[in-house]
Structure 1
Amino acid sequence: MTAFRPCIDLHQGQVKQIVGGSLNDSGAETNFVSSHNAAYYARLYQQQGLTGGHVIALGPNNQQQVLEALAAYPNGMQFGGGVNLENASSYLEAGASQIIVTSYLFENGDFSWSRLEKIKAEVGADKLVLDLSCRKTQNGWMIATDRWQTITNMQVNQRTIAELESHCAEFLIHAADVEGLQAGIDSDLVSLLGNCCTLPTTYAGGARSLADLDLVKSLSNGKVDLTIGSALDIFGGSGVTLEDCVRWNQQP
């Protein structure tokens, strides 16, 4: 059944909430910069009994914050951001419950099945979350890599999801075009995921209130979870409180 899942987004060594579509090599449009470190949020989520959340490193200079967060909530959060064959196991050893992979799986915009097989053999499908974060084009939702800067030629659709499901434990999908805007979720994308996904799936992007949890539950028939970022009070937002989300998760 649909649940709220927490997140920690790191950019240049700080916990931030950014506008996803603005992220590039020179910076990003920022909604919020926290005075707390990543470990603070990890401990907060642990205290609230929140599971299945993720720590995402957006670009360089985040390693220390990542390791401190994973140590603060051992086996409590997934990690993604620059994960590849060489370092995947080290993040699991550092305390990640699972590793999230996107960019490593693409070479020059083409999906690499051999790379998927290699990293799956290294960590196990049960420890692998595939990030299908995407941007909408005239050809549909296309997976975007490299901090959502590079649009690949792989579409998020029923065929892609069906082909990938036997290789991982979960999917994570940021709708990069609405990420951080608090202008509402991409309802069509959530509906697609609800129709196609049989694995646990988390959607992020545009959520602005507690009502969006109800909407995602309805659109996906309870099959898709929701991450709320910029609208959340702990990230400077006024749309919804963490306490409300925890209470929503606890309802029958």
Structure 2
Amino acid sequence: MTTIALTIAGSDPSGGAGIQADLKTFSALGAYGMSVITALTAQSTQGVDAVLAISPEFIEAQFNTLYQDIKIDSVKIGMLMNKEIVTTVHHLLKTNPIPAIVLDTVMVAKGGHPLLKSDAVTAIRELLLPLATIITPNLPEAAALLDCDEAKNEDEMQNQGQKLLKLGCKAVLMKGGHLPSKESPDYLITHNNIIRMTFPRIQTKNTHGTGCTLSAAIAALLPKNNLEEAIVQAKNYLQGAISHADDLNIGKGIGPTHHFYQCW
């Protein structure tokens, strides 16, 4: 059976992040990809110049058109931008169940441009976390969700992950890329276990869209794997995409990872 994965996220016209990265990732990992666009951006490898939110009514129309026709196995949620969009997505997923929900709590673009208004953070915490199969915050995002200081070490990472778990999601993947260490440690935290996963850091500036790509990979893999297996495979795929990023030579700034390194 073909896995059908949906991304609910913003558009990145440069192709490195957002729905474009999600659809590439789905395809690379053997899933059929579909999208509901929540925002349009004017961005390149050098940063975000403008953002335009899609109306909640049109987001709902996109979703309903797909859901009424096609059985969706998994959904990845990315950029939601404001409280109204968060509320709309919550309503859609609450009333139209999808087996696997991967929530990537996108708040800031790689270049520092905010992609989520402050009033939406509370809405994500209260409305979407309880629906999520897994959430994938980096350290600044976890701190924002918990309204606390950013974790400075792995013990604090685990502690914050456990606090996020208590907010209602089934699992948390705490991403430790912001820690100043030779390795990039992540922690998968569930109600039954804490698993440390780590890879050596790859020396490249081309890391645009890594968070989008990882969460999309998990969504593509979850329908046919258990949670730990899906995350291990997703992290292996992302590691390969980053290690081949310099092969692409795209743009003048922070370039994309190589989503199709396995087949090009």
Into which bin does the TM-score normalised by the smaller protein fall? Answer: 0.3 to 0.5
- What's the TM-score, normalizing by structure 1? 0.43
- What's the TM-score, normalizing by structure 2? 0.41
The structure with more helix, counted as a fraction of residues: 2
